[in-house]
Amino acid sequence: MQQTADVTEELARRVVTAAGRALDVDLTPEQALVQASPRDGVDFQANLAMSLGKQLGRPPREVAGLIAGALELGGIADPPEVAGPGFLNFVLCKEWLEARTGALLGDPRLGVPETAAPRRIALDYSSPNVAKEMHAGHLRSSVIGDALARLLRFAGHEVLPHNHLGDWGTPFGMLIEHLLDVSAGQRTIADLDAFYREARQKFDSDEAFATRARTRVVKLQSGDEDTLAVWQELVDESTRHFNAVYALLGISLTDNDIYGESFYNLYLAAVVDDLEKAGLTEVSDGAICVFPEGFRNREGDRLPLIVRKRDGGYGYAATDLATVRYWTSERGATDLLYVVGAPQAQHFAMVFAACRAAGWLTGHAEHIGFGTVLGADGKAMRTRAGETVKLADLLTEAVTQAAAVVAERSELDAAGQAEVARAVGIGAVKYADLSGDRERDYVFAWDRMLAKEGNTSVYLQYAHARTQSILQKAGGVPDGAGILLEAPAERALALKLLRLGEAVKAATSAYAPHKLCTYLYETAVAFSRFYDDCPVLKAPSPSLRASRLRLTTLTSNTLALGLSLLGIEAPDQL
Ligand code: ARG
């Protein structure tokens, strides 16, 4: 078994032990405030002495000195220097760093720990609407959700993905009638949005059609077989569109993961029953509602979740109540995660509150919100005609643009270049989405996301391809795990390589893939410095050459593993 406690944590534990011994305080490792130092010549810094000094009424430098005196570092680092107002500055011991780095070579997980407490996590992501094109919000949900699924699985959790398709509700009356009208014979929908618009237009302008549509909704809800068959066609046709986008994007959702709104119909009556028995419902305006505690509008009125509408129908909120109930009660999920745009934050907060009150939800539930994709004008991204951008078009464009970038300096043949253009183009779109704090909006800009320098997937893919090319030229890496860290750039690279586990853990626990992106970027930068400063193939000695090849191997594997956890490919050659 590899030792996987990360360096930061290991230092932090020793620091709090020392603080306990010297000052009789009981701190958690987090309270040691250990972090990698941004300054040259110092590897880590512990910043607890300032707050501790205040708390104990003693000068922070004195507190720092006492902790330093009580520290047992076990060969990890030299005794720390007390600096500035009371920082403890650590420099890791060269031998320890070399041994630790070498140990990574035998570890397929590269030091990323597996969880000691696996959870069963129901993960709602992508969730587009039937008979509508997926839009940029569904792109974000798909990309972020898929990265989280990969991260959580890699950590050892069980992930139950579910694609909450919008496949039910009143619009299906007009959609079904329209499909019947247009498709005497062959039923294909080339353009989902156009189809939807036509149906809506007819509904608004043609009274007879509107009446047919309303009758059709009733038939659909009462389970009329012919109606359901047409509805199924709409669902299947839409799913084909969605699957095409998933295939292009490399999203791992399949038809087995579809749990559309319609899936929960079966459970809606029981939801109402349970809520009524629990005394949580009220009739308001003829509708059965739940008013979860603590939610009010600006006027101070309580906000309802509508469980059953006045006409007996069920809506979005009712379905989500049923969703929670299903995944916790029937599927035993311990955690519920919903990767859905920020505007639905209140909806989920209210659903969770109601479900806790109903006793369906005792574990963790979280809305993983995200911001909007903006166009160059700073407004939600649209086509020039003012329509929502079709994802399939966007992704095709990404591959075309990437092909131009790749062709500039590739030595690959045409087929190879096409394959790489796909990996680069799709990777760029995904990485642009993942590399910023997800709660923020971001501007969709081709030149920025396809830049060869900076925090982009292209830069990481080039760095990875470079490591592969070096390894290829070397004709093999000598057996053994000896690492020699002589040059500063070598040492800095090793320090980065040792921190993949921390980065993955941080990204996973905060559902924040950008933390992994930042780490990978810093690692690629550290590699680039190393490559500039330290000849690998022409290293001055065989042992140094072997060590540098090993560092190159670790960099290669780190970048490839990191990118794969984000759902991004790392071709060996660009
Ligand atoms: N279909 C919805 C939309 O496009 C997203 C559904 C999210 N999931 C959920 N359980 N409500 O906005």
For the stretch 341-393, pLDDT in tens is 999 999 999 999 999 999 999 999 999 999 999 998 888 888 777 777 888 88
Evaluate whether 81 touches 39 at the Cβ level (below 8 Å).
Answer: no
Q: Are 355 and 307 in contact (CB under 8 A)?
A: no
- Dump pLDDT digits (tens) for 464-483: 999 999 999 999 999 999 99
User: Which residues have CB under 6 Å of ligand 1?
Assistant: 124, 127-129, 164, 166, 320, 323, 338, 340
Please list the helix, strand and coil fractions of the chain in percent, rounded to the nearest 5, in that order: 55, 10, 35
Instruction: Report residue 571: phi and psi, to 5°.
Output: -65, 150
pLDDT reported for residue 218: 92
Extract long-range pairs of 363-367: CB within 8 Å, 24+ residues apart.
363/328, 363/333, 363/334, 363/335, 363/336, 364/334, 364/335, 364/336, 365/324, 365/335, 365/336, 365/337, 365/338, 366/335, 366/336, 366/337, 366/338, 366/511, 367/338, 367/340
**Alpha carbons 232 and 221: distance in angstroms, whole number:** 13
Number of H helices, E strands in the chain: 20, 13
Residues linked to residue 258 through DSSP beta bridges, in sequence order: 163
Question: Ligand 1 center to residue 62 CA distance, Å?
Answer: 56
Q: What Å distances lie between residue 91 and 166, 353, 486, CA to CA?
A: 55, 48, 14
Residue 39 confidence (pLDDT): 79
The DSSP element (H or E) to which 366 belongs, if any, is strand 364-368
Nearest-CA residue for ligand 1 atom 4 is 128
Low-confidence ranges of the chain (pLDDT < 50): 1-3
Report the DSSP pairing between strands 305-308 and 287-290: antiparallel
Report CA(163)–ligand 1 centroid distance (Å): 9
At residue 151, the 3 state secondary structure works out as: helix
315 in helix, strand or coil?
Answer: coil
Domains and CATH numbers, the chain: 7-92 (3.30.1360.70), 120-165+260-368 (3.40.50.620), 170-251 (no CATH), 391-565 (1.10.730.10)
Residue type, 270: A
Which helix (H) or strand (E) segment holds residue 159: the answer is strand 158-162
What pLDDT does 1 receive? 37
Nearest-angstrom CA–CA distance, 305 and 287: 10
* Per-residue pLDDT, 2: 42
What's the pTM? 0.95
E-strand spans in 32-142? 34-36, 44-46, 81-83, 87-90, 120-124
Residue nearest to atom 5 of ligand 1 (CA): 127
Q: Which residues sit opposite 46 in a β-bridge?
A: 34, 88
Q: Which atom of ligand 1 is nearest to the CA of 323?
A: 10
Question: How far apart (Å, rounded) are the C-alpha atoms in residues 334 and 330?
Answer: 11
Q: Ligand 1: distance of its center to the CA of 472 in Å?
A: 47
CA of 421 to the centre of ligand 1 (A): 32
Return the best residue to mutate from 127, 235, 258, 326 for the ligand 1 pocket (most ligand atoms within 8 A of CB): 127
pLDDT at res. 390: 82
Q: Is 184 helix (H, G, I), strand (E, B) or coil?
A: coil
Q: How far is CA 419 from CA 67, 350, 422, 452, 514, in A?
A: 56, 46, 5, 18, 26
Measured by CA distance, the residue closest to atom 3 of ligand 1 is: 128
Place of tokens 């329209």: 178
Q: Which two tokens stand for residue 25?
A: 């305080």
What are the φ and ψ backbone dihedral angles of 306, each rounded to 5 degrees? -85, 115
